[in-house]
Amino acid sequence: MVRMRWFYALFALGCLGLPGCTFNLPLGLGDDRGKLSGEVVEKADHFWTLNEILMIPLSGLVDIGGERATLGEPGMLVGLKDQLKAAEENPQIKAVILRVDSPGGSVTASDLIYQEIKRFKEKERGFDKHKIPVLVEMIDLAASGGFYISMPADEIYALPTTITGSIGVITMLPGIKSLSDKIGLEMRVIKSGANKDAGSFWREMTPEQREIFQGLIDKDYQLFLKVILDNRQAKGLTPEKLKALADGRVFDAQTALDNHLIDGIKYPQEVFERAKQLAGIKDARLVTYEYPFAYRGNLYARAPAPEPQTRKQSGGGDFNLLKLDLGALSDLGQGPRFMYLCLP
C-alpha cells in the first residue's frame, strides 16, 4: 500500500511537467474555487522544478459580467478576480503574465480590473515580504480599455504587429426623433426635471444636456490620463507628450515603444523568459487556470473558439475589422454608457 501511494505521488508530480496536463489547485473551500483547474502550457526545463508562472488571458470586451456570463463564461473582471485569488493561494506562483487582447470596454470595468491588478501586484508575500512581478504581453489589439488595464504591470510588451493606444472616452447616443416624426410615433414622457431623460433617443439633445455629458466624458478622460502618468511617467512619458498622444488614435508597437507607452517588443516565449528574470528564478512552468471545458494546451492556444461568422464568409457584408460582436453593445441604446473603447 505504501509503495502504491509513492507511485501515485510520483506520477502526479511527473504530470506537472507535461505540457497540456491538468491538475487540481489548492484553492481553498467553496464551490466557486472548485471551478478552476490548472493546465501546464509550457513545461519547465527540469523535471523537479516547482516554480510556476501564471498566464492570465484578458481577451474580448472589458466587462464585469454581461453577455458572456449568460453563456456560462464569466466576464473579464470575474475571471480575473478568480485567477488572481488562486494565484495568491499558490506559493509556487512566482510571476504573472497578463495576455491582453482587447479593444476595451466599460469605463467602470476597466478601472476595477486596474485596481485588482494593482492590489495583487503590491501585496507582500512570505517571510521575506516579496512581491510577485506582473507583466503584460499585448497580442492583436490592446487599445483604450485594453491599454488602461495594462497600466499597473511592472513591464508591458507587445508583438511587432500589435495595435495599441486609442486613449480616450466615448459614449454613443442614438437619435430617432426624425424617424418617429415621419411615421407618427410619439413617446410621452412624464419626468421630475428637465434633464431626467437627458440622452433620450426620442428627442433632440439640448446644449445644456450636451454640456452635461461632455463634463462626464472629460472626467473619465482625466482619470485615464492620470492612470497612464502614474505608471509611465517614471519610464519617460511626460504630461505634455501624453496630451499630444491621447487624441484617440491607435499606434503600432514601435510607435508605442518610441513614445514610452510600452517597455519593449517581444514574442511570448521572450516574455516568459523575462518573467523568470524579474522573479529571480532560472526555471519555471508556464501555467494557466481555466474553467471547465476550456483548453489552453500551449502558449498560443485560446479558449473558447470564436463562433463562425457565416455572414462574412457568405459575402453578406458583415465585416468587422476588430472581430468585435456589436451585439454585445446593443444595450447602448438603453441609456448612456461611458466606454474606454476602440470602435472605428
CA distance 292 to 34: 10
Q: Answer for the pair 42, 19: CB distance below 8 angstroms, yes or no.
A: yes
Catalytic, 180? Answer no
State how beta strands 250-252 and 163-165 pair.
antiparallel
Whether the link from the prior residue into 304 is cis, omega within 30° of 0, is yes
Catalytic, 196? Answer yes
CA distance 294 to 299: 14
| Options 102, 106, 110, 144, the catalytic residue | 144
Which phi and psi (to 5°) does residue 339 adopt?
A: -125, 135
Can you point out the beta strands (E) in 31-92?
37-42, 52-59
Long-range pairs, 42-45, Cβ under 8 A, ≥24: 42/272, 42/285, 42/286, 42/298, 42/299, 43/17, 43/18, 43/19, 43/285, 44/17, 44/283, 44/284, 44/285, 45/283
Cα 169 to Cα 180, 184, 341, 343: the distances in Å are: 29, 35, 7, 11
| Options 123, 131, 191, 196, the catalytic residue | 196
Angle at 22 between CA 21 and CA 25, to 5 degrees: 140
As a whole number of Å, the CA-based R_g of the chain is 23
DSSP 110-148: HHHHHHHHHHHHH--BTTTTB---EEEEEEEEEETHHHH
Q: Answer for the pair 115, 135: CB distance below 8 angstroms, yes or no.
A: no
Angle at 248 between CA 56 and CA 99, to 5 degrees: 10
Beta-bridge partner residues of 101: 59
Catalytic residue numbers, as ranges: 144, 196
